[in-house]
Amino acid sequence: MYVESVDFKRQAWDAKILGDLLTRLIANGYQGLLAEIHQAAGRFSRPRPDRSLPNSLGQADGFTDVLIPPAQPHTRVIFFLAQPDLLRMIVAGRNQTEVRRVATATKMHLEAAVGGHLSELLPAVADREGPDRFRREVVPALHLTASGGLVVGLRDGAPMQVMLALRRQPAFRGRPTALGSQLTTLLPDKPTEQAREAMERLVSSGIVERWHVVICRTGGQWLAVAQGPDEIKSLIGSNVACPHCGVRMGEEIQEVAYRLTEAADAQFADNRPLCELLDAALRRAGAEAVVIDPGRGAVDGAALYHGTVLVFRARSGAPSAEEAAQLLEQSRHVEQQGWRVVSMLVCDQPAPADLRQSGVFVVDNVSRLDAALEEILSKVREQQTSALLPPVLRPLAISVADLLPPD
């Protein structure tokens, strides 16, 4: 389930404007709960010419309606008067694309009913839990400093995933190394071309160096290495033979090898690759703001998602109970400022079972980071939705998820 909410503020939301809005929506194919009730009431009462839907609203106080938009039967639109001057619109659906499409169309109808630009009805930024407030309050409270990431191009996460996988490869001259033919195993969930592009970006940044090698076709031994292709060409053009199988060098396998440089050590020391990977995943998931500052304290970064702050620590190896306690302590500083907070530990090795009972969300399988993150973010959206729910629905124990039909 994906949810978006928008507040519209004006001096007063009277029954006429709300009635005009519902009339317009119904005329354009929306099915509304109030319209259904109004129609049912008409069957049990004496017909009257003034008993139109707008006239039947009476006072606007307590106004709430649930609507099904046309062409999107799996989406719901909820309007309710949160305050006399504040109309809240909640759109819930199966995915972000459906929700945003419906939200845009419904806003156009609201704009027509009001007779003005919706930009004039949006509350001031200071009134909302937005990125500006996040940077103004949360970032200083956690002692974070927005720092630049590795110079590897766009943060799609692929270079960081390759870097972490390359670290686990066998060593050549004391440094983890992998052959170009092994790139698909370093990034199994991505196309080969994307893995190759990610590796080349690491080479350009100086994190990885490229070697040209000659390998025995029979036994797989490395026979010669050079940083440039010219040295290899001169070797294979000679009459030198392989000492293992006796075949001329020109008939052996020519490969490219990728080796982590010493520059990678500083990045691994403060868990920056893992932080960058998490940064990219959070942005893909729709986080409004992300700040990473690894290796400086108990917190490596924070993100803003649907009005909730995600405070996280990313580390190589299994996290400890002490780290979880420090993370929770930092999260409490943010909660004291009135934010909803989720604490999250991300690691590349299995975490102790007791950490999952500590109040911290644990992600210990980097290969399925997006899926694990979605499980956490879906809980955040559910919490946000519960806070946004119209008061009239709360005593009925109806959630926004209950309003959505099954797939």
Q: What is the pLDDT of residue 124?
A: 54
Single out the residue in 243, 260, 277 at which a domain terminates. Answer: 260
Do 8 and 119 lie in a common domain? yes
Does residue 6 fall inside a structural domain? yes
311 beta partners: 302, 343
The Cα–Cα gap between 298 and 330 comes to: 8
**Is there a domain that residue 231 lies in?**
yes
| Same-domain check for residues 140 and 119 | no
pTM assigned to the model? 0.64
53 shares its domain with 23: yes
User: What averages of pLDDT result for each successive group of 10 residues across the chain (407 residues)?
Assistant: 83 84 92 79 61 57 84 89 86 88 92 83 60 88 70 59 86 90 86 88 90 92 89 86 91 92 81 85 88 86 91 85 90 91 87 80 83 87 70 54 65
Q: Mark whether 97 and 7 lie in a shared domain.
A: yes
What's the CA angle centered on 388, arms 301 and 282, to 5 degrees? 25
pLDDT for the residue 244: 92
At 378 the pLDDT is 85
273 and 342 assigned to the same domain: yes
Identify whether 55 is part of a domain: yes
The HSE-up count of residue 306 (CA atoms within 13 Å, CB side) is 23
Q: DSSP labels for 109-143?
A: HHHHHHTS-GGGTSPPGGGS--HHHIIIIIHHHTT
Are residues 172 and 140 part of one domain?
A: no
Is 396 a domain residue? no
Look at residues 75, 101, 85 and name the one whose alpha carbon lies nearest to residue 17.
85
What is the count of structural domains for the chain? Answer: 3
Helix ranges (H only) for 138-238 are 139-141, 158-166, 183-186, 192-204, 229-236
Q: Is residue 392 part of a domain?
A: no
Q: Look up the CATH number of the domain holding residue 92.
A: 3.30.310
pLDDT on residue 154:
41
Residues 142 and 275 placed together within one structural domain of the fold: yes
CATH value at residue 367? 3.40.1350.10
pLDDT of residue 369: 83
Q: Is residue 62 part of a domain?
A: yes
Residue 209: its pLDDT value, please?
93
Q: Say whether both 368 and 273 belong to one domain.
A: yes
Q: Tell me, yes or no, whether 143 and 275 share the same domain.
A: yes
Range of the domain at 338: 135-147+268-377
Residue 198 half-sphere exposure toward CB, CA atoms < 13 A = 24
Same domain (yes/no): 106, 201: no
Is residue 335 a part of any domain in this protein? Answer: yes
- Do 86 and 117 fall within a single domain? yes
Task: Indicate whether 285 and 221 sit together in one domain.
Answer: no
The reply to whether 166 falls in a domain is: yes
